[in-house]
Amino acid sequence: MRFLFLLFIIIPIIEITVLINVGDAIGVWNTVGLVLLSAFIGVNMLRYQGISTLMRAQQRANQGEIPGQEMVEGIVLAVGGAMLITPGFVTDILGFCCLLPYTRKAFASKLMGRFAIMASQQHRSGSAHFYSNDPFNRSETPFEHHGEQKIPPKPGADVIDGEFERKD
């Protein structure tokens, strides 16, 4: 709840204050030009970084690995792009941080760690069972009842849990 308050009330107030101060310092039209220039540069960086991340994800998928890091980086890129399109200098700085490879990877790693902590807490509390809505209350995984073997993940590999349905 506090996060939404911060997002929708505090950030616009900060942005307006910064825009007014910059407009007083360098002029209104120069300020508008800077905002438009940062959006233009940001969109082009987003396109380049997005394509680069997509190519790395495809490469990992072709190697038989799950591109978990690249998927989370894609989310960070989308958030950064949204921030760059939003008028203002504070959101532009945050958006550029999401687009720069070093900081984007750091944000993505923190998010992946946060997701892993949340998933492990849900698993320990018993609130996230694979067959939580199974009327037959089976305890096996979907791989076991088809006679297939589970393959353990490679050490250090990103693991993303999910469901699938085989269509022949």
Instruction: State mean pLDDT over 27-48.
Output: 92
> Is the pTM here over 0.95, yes or no?
no
Angle, in degrees to the nearest 10, between helices 28-62 and 11-26: 130
Q: Per-residue pLDDT tens for 131-164?
A: 444 444 444 444 444 445 556 667 777 777 777 7
For residue 132, how far is the Cα from the chain centroid?
27
> Cβ–Cβ contacts within 10 Å for residue 41, how many?
14
Q: Which pLDDT belongs to residue 124?
A: 62
Q: Per-residue pLDDT tens for 59-73?
A: 999 998 888 889 899
- Which two structure tokens, joined as six digits, stand for 60? 């990992």
Show the CA angle centred on residue 107, arms to residues 2 and 164, nearest 5°: 95
Q: In the chain, what are the domain boundaries?
A: 32-115
Q: Which pLDDT belongs to residue 122?
A: 64
